[in-house]
């Protein structure tokens, strides 16, 4: 995909054009909104750590008219709790095959694939990255995943990567 993955101080024109069109941002959870580690207590309950920066980014996107969805293979209750706390209404948990779920979601919202962005970190995200208008990955994703990304965040998963992408989208929309 695009050779320039970081816009630097000025927004890369090709990435900006893709970002400007975004009406739906979908995010993987484990490895993007979290650092990928899964904590399991003595009772077998999973917990995850989310970064507050991402939550503010999601609120800003929604205020700008961009829908936000989380699409994850995880069925963890902690994901549902965090999504609810942030007002994420499009939560697709336990979704191993993400592309058909994403297709149904975007079609139901009346949004073209070119007007969608997705940020992922692993192989289950690749079909979705290949289908959307703005594909992003975190820097510690496998090379096979990063090859499908138009943009690779500077921030790691669980460290504000989704916020970085949100700010890129908002900056591109403001520069119209």
Residue 12 placed within a domain:
no
Q: Which residues of the chain have pLDDT under 70?
A: 1-10
Residue 1 placed within a domain:
no
Residue 165 placed within a domain:
yes
What pLDDT score does 176 carry?
72
User: What angle is formed at CA 22 by the lines to CA 175 and CA 106, rounded to 5 degrees?
Assistant: 165
Number of domains in the chain: 1
- Which residues fall within 8 angstroms of residue 132, CB to CB, at 6 or more apart? 26, 102, 113, 114, 116, 117, 118
Confidence (pTM): 0.92
Residue 29 placed within a domain:
yes
Q: Give the CATH number for residue 104.
A: 3.40.50.1000
What pLDDT score does 10 carry?
67
Residue 13 placed within a domain:
no
What pLDDT score does 136 carry?
98
Nearest to 15 by CA among 24, 3, 29: 3
Q: Where in the sequence is the domain holding 79, given as residue range(s)? A: 25-131+156-174
pLDDT digits (tens, 9 = 90+) for 84-133: 999 999 999 999 899 999 999 999 999 999 999 999 999 999 999 999 99
The dihedral through the CA atoms of 71, 77, 79, 82 has a sign that is positive
Residue 136 placed within a domain:
no
Residue 5 placed within a domain:
no
Residue 139 placed within a domain:
no
């Amino acid at each position: 995909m695009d050779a320039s993955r970081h816009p630097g101080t000025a927004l890369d024109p090709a990435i900006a054009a893709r970002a400007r069109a975004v009406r739906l941002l979908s995010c993987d959870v484990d490895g993007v909104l979290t650092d990928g580690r899964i904590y399991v207590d003595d009772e077998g309950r999973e917990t995850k750590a989310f970064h507050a920066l991402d939550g503010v980014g999601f609120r800003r996107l929604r205020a700008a008219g961009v829908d936000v969805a989380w699409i994850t293979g995880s069925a963890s209750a902690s994901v549902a709790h965090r999504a609810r706390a942030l007002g994420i209404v499009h939560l697709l948990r336990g979704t191993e095959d993400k592309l058909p779920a994403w297709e149904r979601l975007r079609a139901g919202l009346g949004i073209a694939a070119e007007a969608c962005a997705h940020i992922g970190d692993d192989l289950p995200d690749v079909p979705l990255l290949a289908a959307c208008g703005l594909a992003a990955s975190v820097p510690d994703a496998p090379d096979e995943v990063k090859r499908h990304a138009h943009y690779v965040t500077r921030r790691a998963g669980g460290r504000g990567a989704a916020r970085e992408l949100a700010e890129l989208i908002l900056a591109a929309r403001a520069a119209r």
